[in-house]
């Protein structure tokens, strides 16, 4: 039985954000640190992986789609991911390639908790806080009934939701948050707490620009470290991929009222 678990997701090679979270007293005291994927595809990939390796056996690593893409080192069309794939070492690629799709811990107060990046069956599938119940049923089909909590990442927006008596948790993104700047993470045991760690964003941007050889490092950090994208931006990016309505399955965007309702719903989930 594990008493306290810190969950860090979607770090995306933003080392200053990772360091801020790792300095949190509750993270330092946690029995385990679970890393739910998309760890290094960003401006400081090698340094971020080195920092995570230093956590030793206390860290439990889960594969995200971006980790798989770094390991495969094939063009993705995303400039920072393709750049990062050329920077990580062969040993780091092997480490990422060997990561599991899911892992499970028995957490005090919560029981069996399953950790994944996107969904339990796929590292790139999209589900959101306001996805249809049928969608959640589809992506969690086959889970053992004893699993009471599912922790996922991928969409960079923190939330908790109960679906068919099972709690779903998204800790948000450490390095590329939507909606509110800061490094977002979660603390499990005996309850569930969504957390946000502020840090010096201007200093982080300057550090990334100075230390990274990614050509657009400064502009990238300006966008993502400062969380310039809103919850509505997240909906526009991810919503059409969760099959949320017949119109979207036919290729039409959600209506403005749908986007506004979802943005308000998501805004209530973001920790202050």
Neighbours of 229 (CB within 10 A): 17
What angle (nearest 5°) sits at the alpha carbon of residue 113, between those of residues 141 and 28? 145
What's the pLDDT score for residue 245? 56
Please tell me the predicted confidence (pLDDT) of residue 249: 40
Distance of CA 74 to the CA centre of its chain: 22
Instruction: Report which of 259, 258, 252 is spatially closest to residue 230, judged by C-alpha positions.
Output: 259
Side by side, the strands of the sheet bearing 166-170 are 102-107, 111-116, 147-151, 166-170, 159-163
Residue range 116-143: average pLDDT? 92
- Over residues 29-37, mean pLDDT: 99
Q: What is the dihedral of CA 202, 231, 79, 126, to 10 degrees?
A: 140
More confident residue, 150 or 136: 150
pLDDT of 60 strictly over 70: yes
pLDDT in tens, 94-126: 999 999 999 999 999 999 999 999 999 999 999
Cα–Cα–Cα angle for 151, 263, 127, rounded to 5 degrees: 35
Sign, CA dihedral 34-223-90-210, equals negative
Residue 230 confidence (pLDDT): 86
Once rounded to an integer, what is the mean pLDDT over residues 246-270?
43
Asked if the model's pLDDT at residue 145 lies above 90, the reply is yes
What is this structure's pTM? 0.90
Domains of the chain: 5-269 (3.60.21.10)
Question: What are the percentages of helix, strand and coil residues in the chain, rounded to 5?
Answer: 40, 20, 45
pLDDT confidence bin for 233, thresholds 50/70/90: confident
Q: What mean pLDDT is predicted for residues 140-153?
A: 96
CB neighbours (10 Å) of residue 107? 24
Whether residue 236 is predicted with pLDDT greater than 80 in this model: the reply is no
Task: Give 209-212's long-range contacts (Cβ < 8 A, gap of 24+).
Answer: 211/43, 211/44, 211/47, 212/43, 212/44
The pLDDT, as a whole number, for residue 271 is 55
The reported pLDDT for the residue numbered 102 is 99
Return d(Cα 3, Cα 170) in angstroms, integer: 19
Residues 138-167, mean pLDDT to the nearest whole number: 94
């Amino acid at each position: 039985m594990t008493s306290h678990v810190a969950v860090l997701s979607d770090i995306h090679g933003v080392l200053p954000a990772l360091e801020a979270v790792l300095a949190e007293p509750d993270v330092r005291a946690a029995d385990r640190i679970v890393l739910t994927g998309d760890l290094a595809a960003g401006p400081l990939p090698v340094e971020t992986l080195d920092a995570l390796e230093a956590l030793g056996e206390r860290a439990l690593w889960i594969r995200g789609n971006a980790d798989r893409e770094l390991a495969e080192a094939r063009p993705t069309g995303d400039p920072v991911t393709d750049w990062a794939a050329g920077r990580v070492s062969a040993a780091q690629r092997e480490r990422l390639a060997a990561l599991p799709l899911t892992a499970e811990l028995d957490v005090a107060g919560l029981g069996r908790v399953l950790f994944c990046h996107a969904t339990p069956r796929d590292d790139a599938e999209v589900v959101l806080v306001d996805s249809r119940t049928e969608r959640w049923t589809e992506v969690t089909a086959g889970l053992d009934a004893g699993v009471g909590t599912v922790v996922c990442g991928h969409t960079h927006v923190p939330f908790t939701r109960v679906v068919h008596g099972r709690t779903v948790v998204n800790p948000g993104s450490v390095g590329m948050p939507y909606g509110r700047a800061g490094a977002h993470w979660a603390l499990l045991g005996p309850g569930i707490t969504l957390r946000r760690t502020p840090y010096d964003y201007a200093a982080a941007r300057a550090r990334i620009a100075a230390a990274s050889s990614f050509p657009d490092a400064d502009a990238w950090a300006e966008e993502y470290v400062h969380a310039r994208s809103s919850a509505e931006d997240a909906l526009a990016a991810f919503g059409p991929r969760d099959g949320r309505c017949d119109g979207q399955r036919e290729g039409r965007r959600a209506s403005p009222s749908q986007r506004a309702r979802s943005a308000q719903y998501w805004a209530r989930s973001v920790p202050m």
